[in-house]
A and B are shown apart, each in its own frame.
Chain A
């Protein structure tokens, strides 16, 4: 590695501060640990929280993967991957199964993660109660008192207005029966995958919060007995690989309103096509 950066860009004292926050996050699953988020060489909203968590976790032996809405080849994913290639000298990959640390924006890979992997989420608004109660002093008290009635009222109002729980992404979950947590804006299709063999870390740079879901932690999507949680999916196979079990993006293909559905996870889709499982 030829570069004038400290390993993984951040200075050691900053990494120690972030590492201590990550460990407390692991000890109290779902609780948002405040941390002194640094300015990163990218704007807020581009994954500065995830980047700081990744920087604190990466070792020289890691293989790093970055996805943005499931895709390895979008601007955000490519630039963050290049950032750590340059500043940490780590190996990079687009294959989910080859990666040891995966940074993600708004998706969980389709391929099941293993015990040897860490999934780092970029989080815009970590506080699940923020749009219901704007004051941090109040939401903090609500978490302390386990006062989550407001969230159920919100889901109930969804049902009253739309006939179903209309929240489709950033669907709130309860972690290990204690903290209500925002799983970042992943589609609710991904919520069942929050119970994973991999360690999951969440970083919100602008909002200065880190939280964690350790492996095999119980993660329950909030719902009602008569309106159970439904991880919905577009009712189509993938146009490219034929997969019927993956999360799909809708793509407009012409000016006449023509549209197709393709896998959002580009690695999953490409691997299936390589294996010749195309429809």
Chain B
């Protein structure tokens, strides 16, 4: 009997999804802030935080792209059972999940149009480390400046430059999450 696909969802979906969304909202509205996202237990290699984001935001209306090592039978079944989301390629994805290396090339994702910049992908980037240190962040949501460990700078600088177009990112590590909207200016720590 296939157990993993049915396990690991929210026990009390309305309340847990509300708490998870609030954390996801606050970290995206305040780049550099790191919060906890608990309640989900997706099959490896997906992290609990990434699982909670999928459960909170994905449903039959959103295409999900699984990149690299995240494209496993177990995770596909888990998403199909809990979210009902269609699994698609990077060009159609509303949400993409994987490590930064596996998510490349980031040019494949939708960045919206000048009339509808909201029609863009959200990347859920699984990381080994997630610290409020490293790249320097400025922009909306940040009082003076903030810092966040990013896998690289160039891609996020290029993404911010074409604002209001662009993709938005969540970084997940275990049960922790941080957000990086396209509006954030990323520079080298100085």
Query: Which A positions have Cβ atoms within 8 angstroms of B?
Result: 6-8, 12-13, 15-17, 19-29, 31, 33-34, 56-61, 115, 140-141, 143-145, 176, 178-179, 197, 199, 212-218
Contact = CB atoms under 8 A, between A and B. Distances in A.
A214 B29 contact: yes
Listed residue (B13, B18, B62, B141) with the most chain A CB atoms within 10 angstroms of its CB: B18
Interface in B97-154: 113-118, 120, 122, 139-143
Interface of B: 13-15, 17-19, 21-22, 24-26, 28-30, 56-59, 61-62, 94, 113-118, 120, 122, 139-143, 163-164, 166, 168, 181-183
A59 B18 contact: yes
25 contacts: A13-B59, A17-B61, A19-B21, A19-B57, A21-B118, A23-B57, A23-B122, A24-B117, A24-B120, A26-B28, A27-B28, A27-B182, A27-B183, A28-B117, A29-B140, A57-B21, A176-B139, A179-B164, A197-B143, A199-B26, A215-B143, A216-B140, A216-B141, A216-B142, A217-B141
B14 A214 contact: no
A7 B14 CA distance: 6
Nearest to B58: A16
Nearest to A17: B61
A189 B28 CA distance: 29
A26 B117 contact: no
Nearest to A145: B114
B140 A214 contact: yes
Contacts of B59: 13, 16
A191 B107 CA distance: 39
B118 A24 contact: yes
Given A25-B118, A26-B29, 15 more contacts: A15-B17, A16-B17, A19-B24, A19-B25, A26-B181, A27-B182, A28-B182, A28-B183, A34-B118, A57-B22, A59-B18, A115-B30, A144-B113, A176-B183, A214-B141
A59 B140 contact: no
B15 A60 contact: yes
B59 to A, nearest CB: 5
A97 to B, nearest CB: 19
B129 to A, nearest CB: 24
Contacts of A57: 21-22, 25
B21 A56 contact: yes
A213 B94 CA distance: 23
Nearest to A60: B15
A276 to B, nearest CB: 34
A86 B22 CA distance: 21
Contacts of A24: 117-118, 120, 168
A161 B19 CA distance: 52
A22 B25 contact: yes
A85 to B, nearest CB: 16
Contacts of B118: 21, 24-25, 28, 31, 33-34
Contacts of B26: 199
Contacts of B141: 26, 214-217
Contacts of B62: 20
Closest 9 CB pairs of A and B: A7-B14, A27-B181, A214-B141, A24-B118, A144-B114, A217-B140, A214-B140, A59-B18, A27-B168
Contacts of A6: 14
Contacts of A29: 140, 183
A199 B13 CA distance: 25
